[in-house]
């Protein structure tokens, strides 16, 4: 398909900028002006609409395909939350308004959404307070670990390490490192749980905390979670709950009740805000009492007269992690979803997510290796090791599924399972959709015996077949204009700078 730049014709314009109604033509001195125009495409509005509509048709999406994508929770995104998020009474609200004198009065509706969302999340997770500021799950992790660091600094603790299980999401060790800690990795047992003996041998007084997903990334609830929390607390370490899998335990277990001190929630998973092809997300962070002083500012408070306000007066706060109050448009969607489902509806989502995952696991375990044969939570991890022995690897299966109109499961994650296929059907899929997927997976196993060579050509029905990723990284082409050496302004290069690289 053509690039929009290749559709460009000088003199065309897809949007009419209003004519000036002021009797002035201003200019800035020549030394401050750009010399070469930005080469944005010159196309008509219809051309823009066709181009992006055609692009959209080159995507899989929940609206069009089944996405049993483990750890990502690709469930239906209700339309009414979209329409609420675009209400002008919220969408047109300038974030500086509440910072003006008496400005809180101008945004009472928005502040109420944030405040009530915090209350709801506290009750749901057993935490004592929340910040809505973090802009995504990994941003929440960073906020949480910064608070852990502030806690230890305030107590004069000299801590060096954050413990993570080997099955953790990559964001956990990356976050710990960026917040200034070294990580200690703990291996899993053959049962898929954290190895407590290993943990015991590695815990010491320098441990700042432990980051954990529960249920963990192989979809199993950490049955000894309370013991783990005790061991960490014994060295004045803090327990961080990675909320990636919170959707598995709503109404069944609250992180705050089982020993976690700080946690984040991925609203796009548990509260089905849209993935958007990779963001924007929102990553509210909850804390127990011991960490409240360190929460980011501003904090939304309810005053004695019932009005909502912003409070910046927290001297021990870690400060600003976002420019304002978080990804409000995303939080509003999550808030609407929670209000609609209510207590019972939320418990139902968990129940059916877990039922669906166990159903898939049982139907598939005859043909696919099941590394941990026990009840799973909202997702299960299978291994394509038998098929791989016939030359059909997890990646090949993924590409075959694409040809069948199914988005592949997560593959090669967690790293602890060879040829991993991580499957999460979610509660919004029907038994029929799951049965169709299972039929395809049965077919995959049969074809892996009869015609394993066939897989290497998949997918064949998409706009492209497997792209050359090595070439993409070697002959980097990330900018049309640089590649076509047209208009990229000559970047002055300092020899000194070059020598640093």
Partner 1 sequence: MNPYIANTSSEVDEMLSVVGAKSIDDLFRDLKPEHRPRSFDLPVGKSEQEVVDFIRDLGKKNASDLKLFIGAGYYDHYIPTAVDALASRGEFFTAYTPYQPECSQGTLQALYQFQSCLCTLTGMEVANASLYDGGTALYEAAMMAIRITGRNRIIMDGGVSPIYRKMLRSYTSNLHIEFAETPVVHGQADRRQIADLLNDQTAAVILQNPNFFGAIDDHSDIIETAHQKGILVIESVYPISLGILKTPGEMGVDIVTGEGQSLGLPLNFGGPYLGFMATRKEFIRKMPGRIVGQTVDAEGRRSFVNTLQAREQHIRREKATSNICTNVSLCALRAVIFMSLLGKEGLKQLAQLNLDKAEFTRQTLEKIKGITVKRSSPTFNEFAVCLPCDASKVVGEMVKKGFAAGFPLGRYYPGMENYMIVAVTEKRTKEDILNFAQALKEVCNSG
Nearer to partner 1, 185 or 198 (CB): 185
Check if the beta carbon of residue 356 is closer than 8 Å to that of residue 425.
yes
- Work out how close the CB of 385 gets to partner 1 at its nearest, in angstroms, rounded to a whole number: 21
Query: What is the helix (H) or strand (E) element at residue 71, kind and residue range?
Result: none
Query: What is the helix (H) or strand (E) element at residue 437, kind and residue range?
Result: helix 431-450
Check if the beta carbon of residue 133 is closer than 8 Å to that of residue 142.
no
Nearer to partner 1, 392 or 402 (CB): 402
- Work out how close the CB of 5 gets to partner 1 at its nearest, in angstroms, rounded to a whole number: 7
- Work out how close the CB of 198 gets to partner 1 at its nearest, in angstroms, rounded to a whole number: 18
Nearer to partner 1, 389 or 439 (CB): 439
Check if the beta carbon of residue 172 is closer than 8 Å to that of residue 140.
no
- Work out how close the CB of 228 gets to partner 1 at its nearest, in angstroms, rounded to a whole number: 12
- Work out how close the CB of 208 gets to partner 1 at its nearest, in angstroms, rounded to a whole number: 10
Q: How far, CA to CA in Å, does 279 sit from each of 70, 87, 90, 123, 274?
A: 17, 20, 20, 27, 8
Nearer to partner 1, 451 or 483 (CB): 483
Distance separating alpha carbons of residues 53 and 50, to the nearest angstrom = 5
DSSP annotation string for 331-347: HHHHHHHHHHHHHHHHH
- Work out how close the CB of 88 gets to partner 1 at its nearest, in angstroms, rounded to a whole number: 6
Beta-bridged to residue 338, according to DSSP, are none
Nearer to partner 1, 123 or 439 (CB): 123
- Rounded (5°) CA angle 311-312-314: 105
Q: Which residue has the tokens 């400060």?
A: 319
Nearer to partner 1, 388 or 399 (CB): 399
- Work out how close the CB of 255 gets to partner 1 at its nearest, in angstroms, rounded to a whole number: 10
Query: What is the helix (H) or strand (E) element at residue 448, kind and residue range?
Result: helix 431-450
| Angle of the 171-178 helix axis to the 137-155 helix axis, nearest 10 | 40
Helix (H, G, I), strand (E, B) or coil at 40: coil
- Work out how close the CB of 245 gets to partner 1 at its nearest, in angstroms, rounded to a whole number: 13
Residue ranges in 260-393 assigned as alpha helix (H): 267-270, 328-364, 385-389
Tokens of 320: 């600003």
Nearer to partner 1, 279 or 389 (CB): 279
Nearer to partner 1, 321 or 423 (CB): 321
């Amino acid at each position: 398909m053509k690039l929009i730049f290749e559709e460009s014709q000088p003199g065309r314009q897809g949007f009419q900028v209003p004519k000036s109604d002021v009797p002035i033509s201003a200019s800035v001195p020549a030394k401050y002006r750009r010399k070469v125009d930005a080469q944005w495409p010159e196309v008509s509005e219809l051309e823009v609409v066709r181009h992006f509509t055609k692009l959209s048709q080159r995507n899989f999406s929940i609206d069009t395909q089944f996405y049993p994508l483990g750890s990502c929770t690709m469930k239906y995104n209700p339309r009414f939350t979209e329409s609420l998020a675009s209400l002008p009474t919220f969408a047109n609200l300038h974030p500086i308004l509440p910072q003006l004198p008496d400005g809180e009065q101008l945004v009472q509706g928005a502040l109420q959404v944030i405040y009530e969302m915090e209350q709801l999340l506290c009750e749901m997770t057993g935490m004592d307070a929340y910040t809505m500021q973090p802009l995504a799950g990994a941003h929440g992790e960073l906020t949480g670990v910064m608070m852990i660091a502030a806690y230890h600094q305030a107590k004069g603790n000299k801590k060096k390490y954050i413990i993570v299980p080997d099955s953790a999401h990559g964001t956990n060790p990356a976050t710990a490192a960026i917040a200034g800690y070294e990580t200690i990795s703990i291996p899993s047992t053959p049962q898929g749980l954290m190895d407590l003996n290993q943990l015991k041998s590695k815990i010491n007084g320098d441990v700042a905390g432990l980051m954990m997903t529960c249920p963990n990334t192989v979809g199993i609830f950490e049955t000894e979670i309370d013991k783990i929390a005790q061991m960490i607390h014994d060295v004045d370490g803090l327990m961080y709950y990675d909320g990636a899998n919170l959707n598995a335990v709503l109404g069944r277990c609250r992180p705050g009740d089982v020993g976690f001190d700080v946690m984040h929630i991925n609203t796009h998973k548990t509260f089905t805000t849209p993935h958007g092809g990779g963001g924007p997300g929102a990553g509210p962070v909850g804390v127990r009492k011991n960490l409240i002083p360190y929460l980011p500012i501003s904090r939304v408070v309810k005053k004695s007269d019932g009005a909502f306000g912003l409070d910046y007066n927290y001297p021990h706060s870690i400060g600003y992690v976002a420019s304002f109050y978080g990804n409000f448009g995303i939080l509003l969607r999550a808030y609407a979803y929670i209000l609609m489902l209510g207590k019972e509806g939320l418990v139902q989502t968990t129940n059916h997510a877990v039922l669906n995952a166990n159903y898939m696991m049982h139907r598939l375990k005859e043909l696919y290796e099941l590394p941990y044969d026990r009840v799973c939570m909202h997702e299960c991890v299978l291994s394509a090791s038998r098929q791989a022995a016939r030359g059909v690897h997890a990646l090949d299966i993924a590409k075959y599924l694409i040809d069948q109109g199914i988005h592949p499961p997560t593959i090669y994650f967690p790293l602890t399972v060879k040829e991993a296929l991580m499957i999460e059907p979610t509660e919004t899929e029907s038994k029929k959709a799951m049965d169709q997927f299972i039929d395809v997976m049965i077919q995959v196993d049969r074809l892996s015996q009869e015609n394993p060579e066939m897989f290497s050509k998949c997918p064949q029905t998409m706009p492209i077949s497997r792209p050359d990723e090595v070439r993409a990284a070697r002959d980097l082409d990330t900018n049309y204009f640089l590649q076509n050496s047209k208009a990229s302004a000559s970047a002055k290069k300092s020899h000194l700078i070059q020598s640093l690289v």
